[in-house]
Amino acid sequence: MHQKADHRVPVLIVGGSLVGLSMSVFLGRLGVRHMLVERHSGTSIHPRGRGNNVRTMELFRVAGVEPDIKAAASLLADNHGILQTPTLVGDAGEWLFRNIDPGGGLARFSPTAWCLCSQNDLEPVLLDSARELGGDLRYFHQMESFEQGADGVTATVFDRNTEERFTVHADYLVAADGPRSPVRRALGIGQSGPGELFANVSVTFRSRALADVVGDRRFICCYLTHPDADGALLPVDNKENWVFHAPWHPERGETLEDFTEERLRDHIRRAVGVDELDVKITGMASWRAAERVADLYSSGRVFLAGDSAHEMSPTGAFGSNTGIQDAHNLAWKLSAVLSGWAGPGLLESYGAERRPVAAATSARASARSVEHSHPGFAPAPGVGGAKRGGILNVVLGYRYPAGAVLGADPYAEVVPDGLALDGRPGSRAPHLWLRRGGLRLSTLDLYERSMVLLTDSPDDAGWYAAARRVAAEDGVALDAYRVGPTPDADLTYDTEGDDWAKAHGTTADGAVLIRPDGFVAWRATSAAADPDTVLREALTSLLTPA
């Protein structure tokens, strides 16, 4: 059947929003040919999904797009915190938090930070990068159907420009096609979770006078709690362009037709507290918040990523970030399998790792919406009752108790109560600043294209030499680095007193094996009599599971 296909690619991506574009960038970085089809004619025009958390920015840093994203986000670079207030007139209200990183403590854990970049600004950056990396991106194209065979997936695609159809044969299909995912439905994969939480109408508008009312309160978001006109206000440029999320109650019989421009203008004026505020509506889009997770993340050669796999309350921007991290987890595994240095069984770890993260994170997102009294959210009993508290442990400290890891605690909580990036298998590897020649880099910058072994054993009987022999003899994508304070090390410390072994929970005679996505796969706390055999067995278990 695939012999008759008009196009053949290793990976077909369905959906060209944040997650699909991120998948394209990550695959492009790894040299994996792919095609992306998106039914819309271009990238998002609505400013939404703006909070890119520190873990996502780490991935974009390694992928080389962090500088361009920061440039695109420059208008909101000084906005911090969430304000909750009855109106914006006067100085009533309280800050739910003023700064996401008070005191700059995040620098101990990461080489980057949060970035406030709206989806309509972020997607063009990813699009340009994906195309520069060789991605075949086709907008205004819709996948109509697909079928699987033993050697791949054949899809029928409709070109909405020419009204012609063509077929694509791919080894694997990645569905990043949104919460109502036609691919997920075609596969018959169900969903679990509380379901719909609340609905909003998102309004873009212009108002020159509003900046004077806001004053110097540079918030990420402001929850306005007027009893007759609650909602969420978000700045777009801090000057005249804004977004307002107005609660929509379809359960009370409200329809979208009820949200006329006149009603929305009056609602915004009452919420802000200025009766004659200039408000020019420039756009409107409805959305529904939900908490759902797909029961399976794959079926055969088809994988779900992003909203097709999970839906979350928007508070905290967990959904888009979790989706981008889905894409990164899956991209290196697809690359490893397609390149031949891992077996197809590795792909089964995608769902084993990412589904529990989505379930835990979506529960935290709902809890955060309750904690922040998100406008329009009246939780049903039992919804939003997950643990609250810190955010770093959710966005940076999540763990994989099962999957492509060895030695992880299978009973460990996926989202721990605290942040412990100490080199445990299944956790994101620790960040340290190092030097390679005159270049300063983070340990996290080492992880993208291969497995990486860190050690300080230069002798032929140690881990370093074993890694080089195994890579050469077995064809595994494996790099090894000697880390230490002396000039003969491959990587030396940027800061006096640092100790890579202590940071990773091992000794100078031990070793840590880290995956291309920066998660610790395995570690040895001491030397081994036969390091080649031990390392080879670990790699076989990780990369070619039975």
Supply the DSSP string of 443-477, one letter for each residue.
Answer: GGGG-SSSEEEEE---STTSHHHHHHHHHHHH---
> Which has more confidence, 103 or 105?
105
For 150-251, where are the E strands, in sequence order? 152-159, 164-175, 191-206, 221-224, 231-235, 241-248
Residue 370 has pLDDT above 80, yes or no: no
Please tell me the distance from the alpha carbon of residue 38 to that of residue 139, in angstroms, as a whole number: 5
Please tell me the distance from the alpha carbon of residue 535 to that of residue 82, in angstroms, as a whole number: 48
Residue 372 has pLDDT above 70, yes or no: no
Residue type, 94: E
Closest CA to 183 of 196, 193, 170: 170
Three-state helix/strand/coil letters over 333-401: HHHHHHHCCCCHHHHHHHHHHHHHHHHHHHHHHHHHHHHCCCCCCCCCCCCCCCCCCCCHHHHCCCCCC
Residue 1 has pLDDT above 50, yes or no: no
Residue 486 has pLDDT above 90, yes or no: no
Residue 61 has pLDDT above 50, yes or no: yes
At 104, the pLDDT band (50, 70, 90 cuts) reads confident
Task: State both tokens at 89.
Answer: 């007139």
Residue 160 has pLDDT above 90, yes or no: yes
Using CB atoms within 10 Å of the CB of residue 472, give its burial: 0 to 12 exposed, 13 to 18 middle, 19+ buried. exposed
Q: Model confidence over 460-473: pLDDT tens digits? A: 889 999 999 999 99
Please tell me the distance from the alpha carbon of residue 234 to that of residue 36, in angstroms, as a whole number: 31
Give the bridge partners for 222, in sequence order: 83, 233
Predicted confidence at residue 378, as pLDDT, reads 66
Predicted confidence at residue 373, as pLDDT, reads 64
Please tell me the distance from the alpha carbon of residue 183 to that of residue 139, in angstroms, as a whole number: 18
Residue 2 has pLDDT above 50, yes or no: no
Instruction: Provide the sign of the torsion angle of the four alpha carbons 133, 3, 142, 302, taken in this order.
Output: negative
For the segment 391-419, the average pLDDT, to the nearest whole number, is: 94
Q: Model confidence over 127-139: pLDDT tens digits? A: 999 999 999 999 9
For the segment 80-104, the average pLDDT, to the nearest whole number, is: 86
Predicted confidence at residue 317, as pLDDT, reads 82
Domains, the chain, in order of start with CATH, read 2-192+291-343 (3.50.50.60), 433-543 (3.40.30.120)
Q: Model confidence over 504-532: pLDDT tens digits? A: 999 989 999 999 999 999 999 999 999 99
For the segment 3-17, the average pLDDT, to the nearest whole number, is: 92
Q: Is the separation of the CB atoms in 318 and 362 below 8 Å? A: yes
**For the chain, what is the mean pLDDT?**
93
For the segment 188-201, the average pLDDT, to the nearest whole number, is: 93
Predicted confidence at residue 491, as pLDDT, reads 96
Residue 489 has pLDDT above 80, yes or no: yes
Percent of the chain with pLDDT over 70: 96
Closest CA to 6 of 241, 166, 122, 187: 166
Residue 156 has pLDDT above 90, yes or no: yes
Q: Model confidence over 424-447: pLDDT tens digits? A: 999 999 999 999 988 999 999 999
